[in-house]
Amino acid sequence: MKNILIIYTGGTIGMVRTPNGYAPQSGYFLSELEAIPALRSPEMPRWELHEMSPLLDSSNMTVKEWNEVAQLIYDNYGAYDGFVVLHGTDTMAYTASALSFMLENLAKPVVLTGSQIPLCEVRSDGADNLITSLLIAADDRVHEVCLYFGGNLMRGNRTTKYSADGLAAFHSPNFPPLAEAGITIRYNPTALRPEPEGDLRLQLMENVPIGVIKVFPGIQFSLFEQIMTEKLRGIVIETFGAGNIPGDGSALLPIIRRAFENGTVLTVCSQCPQGAVSLGAYEASSSLKGAGAVSGLDMTTEAAVAKLYYLFSCGYDKDTVKQMMGCDLRGEMTV
């Protein structure tokens, strides 16, 4: 029988109502799970719960918690067949992306899930999400960090939170689902990552100063100059469409050049969830290319942020980080 470790980090799934709104409560979740008979049915894998401390609303997740979860998976890798990470939905796509980079040569399933309605409430989506995630975590076909939510299994570093109140809260706009859970769980073998060859390697993250800048009509780039050139090591710029920025580039390009000289790597992503950045397709983007920015192609902002943290944490210099931002490392981009 397969053995799965459930790592409970917090999130709505285990929250209770408080006078200040929903909040996680420590030491109560195991009894909630034990009250769901299906979780101990003979068709289910065996599971154990590890509760993190403190439990968090995922809007409070930081690099420190990413490291704790990744280390826990690494330390328990031999003892379990798969891992389910229960997590708040707000930053689940960031954590899934981060774990995908931190755990190189992952050969076992790591499935992130959670819910939009707490388990203790009648219409909760938590039990379904958890039950299906446990079955996926026990499946030998999965060798990657993925996110299961509302009937879809997606590659973790391809996901983005799409809905603040829908039960199918996540999209994978540029990569097909890894599986769809209807009456049966139908896997998509052409989308799943192949089993890796080397041993699992863990890279912990450092709290590198990273920034995300979203362009908008009328943006005054000069206001961002100091932070871009002196404070940040990695920047994700969310441009219009296929990589376009307002103006003729004369305001932004010297800033990018100076930032790159100072060691900052600027990655171009799109405000459009679907499709890819194509630098040079329009005049409005061609100058970005010449100034030292790297195209994030069809990467999500979440994946680009996690990848910048990861590459700088590996200790690479700016040229290597820039070069690797444009390479597919864990199936996060279509090259």
Ligand X SMILES: NC(=O)C[C@H](N)C(=O)O
Ligand-binding annotation for 58, yes or no, is yes
Q: Is 184 annotated as a binding residue?
A: no
Which lies closer to ligand X via its Cβ, residue 86 or residue 179?
Answer: 86
Instruction: Name which position in 11, 14, 150, 234 contacts ligand X (CB under 6 A).
Output: 11
Does residue 121 bind ligand X (CB under 6 A)? no
Map residue 110 onto helix, strand or coil.
strand
Q: Take residue 99 and report the two structure tokens written for it.
A: 């774990």
229 is catalytic: no
Residue linked to tokens 């990848």: 307
> Is residue 270 a known part of a binding site?
no
Q: Which is nearer to ligand X, 52 or 333 (CB)?
A: 52
Rounded to the nearest 10 degrees, what angle do helices 92-102 and 301-313 cross at? 40
Least distance from C-beta 320 to ligand X, angstroms? 34
Choosing from 14, 82, 109, 114, the residue that interacts with ligand X (CB under 6 A) is 114
Structure tokens, 183: 């009456």
State the Cα angle at 273 between 193 and 154, rounded to 5°.
Answer: 30
Q: Between residues 116 and 174, which has the closer beta carbon with respect to ligand X?
A: 116
Q: Which of 333, 324, 263 is nearest to 303 (CA)?
A: 333
d(CA 4, CA 149): 18
Binding of residue 126 to ligand X (CB under 6 A)? no
- Look up residue 113 and give its amino acid: T
- Angle value at C-alpha 85, between 270 and 2, nearest 5 degrees: 130
Tell me how far, at minimum, the Cβ of 179 lies from ligand X, in Å: 22
Q: Is the peptide bond before 54 cis (omega within 30 degrees of 0)?
A: yes
14 binds ligand X per the rule CB under 6 A: no
Establish if 128 lies at the interface with ligand X (CB under 6 A).
no
- 3-state secondary structure (DSSP) of residue 292: coil
* Annotation marks residue 89 as catalytic: yes
**Nearest-approach distance from CB 90 to ligand X, in angstroms:** 3
Using CB under 6 A as the binding criterion, the count of chain residues that bind ligand X stands at: 11
Residue 239 falls in which region: left (phi positive, over 0), alpha (psi -120 to 50) or beta: beta
Which residue number has the CB closest to ligand X? 88
Catalytic residue (one of 89, 95, 132, 229): 89
CA distances, 113 to each of 92, 96, 139, 318 (Å):
8, 10, 16, 34
Indicate whether 133 belongs to the interface with ligand X (CB under 6 A). no
For 227, which DSSP code? I
Q: Which is nearer to ligand X, 150 or 249 (CB)?
A: 150
The only residue of 47, 51, 58, 233 in contact with ligand X, by rule CB under 6 A: 58
Residue 228: both structure tokens together: 């871009």
Indicate whether 90 belongs to the interface with ligand X (CB under 6 A). Answer: yes
User: Which range in 43-51, 86-94, 100-108, 187-195 contacts ligand X by CB under 6 A?
Assistant: 86-94
> Which residues would be at the binding site for ligand X (CB under 6 A)?
10-12, 57-59, 88-90, 114, 116
User: Could you list the active site residues?
Assistant: 12, 89
Binding-site residues for substrate, in ranges, read 58, 89-90
